[in-house]
Structure 1
């Protein structure tokens, strides 16, 4: 069962030749979700071999251009590609008004339904769910209403030990009952407790996306225990005053939040274009939080069933 993040862009307000605007793709059990959609997102999707028609939903953190400019072209491209099934978009207000104005000005009529859910970025609440995942908003501290998202895999279903099936000669009806969490009566009249026969194949995995924001203890509490935390690291800590002024975090602050949240792994991103080399940001964060990954375009982060992190590239 896949749980994988692909970073399409890791830059902040201004892209560079090697760093595009913010966009991530989360693959949960082969269901695909786009998180933020900066300029050039559809190019990056094509570059890394991700079909936009597979997208189940889009989650927007806030209405700054480096996180939203790509949505207009992407929606039109999916229309030209023949998309018919509905697309859900979750975003803070007034995203719907912004999108309707764009469609009206350019006289665009999409051939597929858009289902827009506008969220209150000040609240933490479950805003999306299906059979494999739930999504909770994470209020962040930025210059405009902004929320991160906590993506949690649902608890996997129970399996039954093969040895137990053979030892007791369990029939399909009894196996089905055990998978539902029930105890079962054996042929000899004894009760087989569910906990002795059934087990969870793995623990649910989680991914927290926190950008853009200054350091937030409230956000750290909401994403507590996340297996993978993406936290913006726009600046080096030497530029902490600029970070505070613009509503951003330093790499050191991102690492501190990861530690406070008890995250298992931290991935950095949203780097200022002023930094040609990213190693100083990585070193700054890793010194505070060793399990740090330097996010970059094309990086693929896979949470295995044992919740270990596999790092690769597209």
Structure 2
């Protein structure tokens, strides 16, 4: 599982920082999460192939999380894209994008599908044979969701030494990988545990964008491998966090601790602070495993 931070600052873009956008690669699937202004430039800087992005997840309709989407959609057309693109986001995202395409007479030459969200409960919004994506309802000034990405458990791995020792024919290999025991010709039953190794544990990633401290997310993200949680402010501006429905670094750490996550990544920093290391120092007083998002950095898990 690899996470590339394309932008991780709040509000307006600057020459040295970019608003929210992330590229998650999990089980050979590539998902774009939020699409702030300048996202396609950041994709180019990080040498990410546009053609590999088939799903875009938009957390909410504040500009620093989706103003780059119309530009990316238009660029896909200019590059001759033919593969369908699916956009998952709050109700209204379809109207906003289609109005711009209509008035500029810039209809796409590929299938553009919108999956609008309005549920206040956690729901499944994408699923294939390898990955499951569900929403994480958040509390912000407008309707907002985070997203939980979960790998599905893979098949078991053959213990070839054991398989060959019992002279099991190859036509039974898939059955063994699916967890089945094997009955030999002499009637002996060989338990699957003797013939296979456990599969690689599936990875999970939770993205919690703009939100006030919101404990209802805890049962949804419990035990995830990696949690990205916004930390717009430090504790000294807690009152401002409450007023604007954002979180502090300490509050993000409390969520991570209570949800028993393995790793916390902080981001969505207010640009009022001179150093983002202050966020890490503050969060680590509550939760030890803290990483800092920075524009252009990639994490591998």
Q: TM-score interval w.r.t. the shorter chain?
A: over 0.9
Which of 219, 222, 237 aligns to 2:220? It is 222
Query: Any idea what SS the aligned residue of 1:26 has?
Result: strand
Tell me the CA shift for residue 30 of structure 1. 2.8
Partner of residue 142, structure 1: 140
Query: Any idea what SS the aligned residue of 1:288 has?
Result: coil
Query: Any idea what SS the aligned residue of 1:36 has?
Result: strand
Which of 191, 194, 211 aligns to 2:192? It is 194
TM-score normalised by the chain length of structure 1: 0.93
Query: Any idea what SS the aligned residue of 2:213 has?
Result: coil
Tell me the CA shift for residue 49 of structure 1. 0.4
Q: Deviations over 1:253-282 (max 9, x none)?
A: 011111011110000000011112111111
Partner of residue 151, structure 2: 153
8 Å Cα contact 1:156/1:200 also seen in 2 = no
1:176 & 1:134 partners in 2: Cα distance? 23
1:7 & 1:163 partners in 2: Cα distance? 42
Q: How does 1:1-314 map to 2 (within 5 A)?
A: 3-303=1-301
8 Å Cα contact 1:158/1:198 also seen in 2 = yes
* Structure 1 residues 20 and 113, CA gap change in structure 2 (3 angstroms): same
2:94 & 2:204 partners in 1: Cα distance? 28
2:246 & 2:69 partners in 1: Cα distance? 23
Query: Any idea what SS the aligned residue of 2:69 has?
Result: helix
8 Å Cα contact 1:121/1:140 also seen in 2 = no
Q: Deviations over 1:8-52 (max 9, x none)?
A: 001101223322010000012332110000000000000000011
Query: Any idea what SS the aligned residue of 2:103 has?
Result: helix
RMSD, aligned CA: 1.1
8 Å Cα contact 1:121/1:147 also seen in 2 = no
2:241 & 2:204 partners in 1: Cα distance? 28
Query: Any idea what SS the aligned residue of 1:287 has?
Result: coil
Tell me the CA shift for residue 187 of structure 1. 2.6
8 Å Cα contact 1:234/1:269 also seen in 2 = yes
Query: Any idea what SS the aligned residue of 2:284 has?
Result: helix
Query: Any idea what SS the aligned residue of 2:132 has?
Result: strand
8 Å Cα contact 1:14/1:272 also seen in 2 = no
8 Å Cα contact 1:121/1:146 also seen in 2 = no
2:82 & 2:198 partners in 1: Cα distance? 37
8 Å Cα contact 1:236/1:250 also seen in 2 = yes
1:289 & 1:274 partners in 2: Cα distance? 24
Query: Any idea what SS the aligned residue of 2:285 has?
Result: helix
Query: Any idea what SS the aligned residue of 1:157 has?
Result: coil
Unaligned runs of at least 5 residues, structure 1? 304-314
My pick for the range that moved more, 174-183 or 84-93, is 174-183
TM-score normalised by the chain length of structure 2: 0.97
Query: Any idea what SS the aligned residue of 1:148 has?
Result: strand
Query: Any idea what SS the aligned residue of 2:35 has?
Result: coil
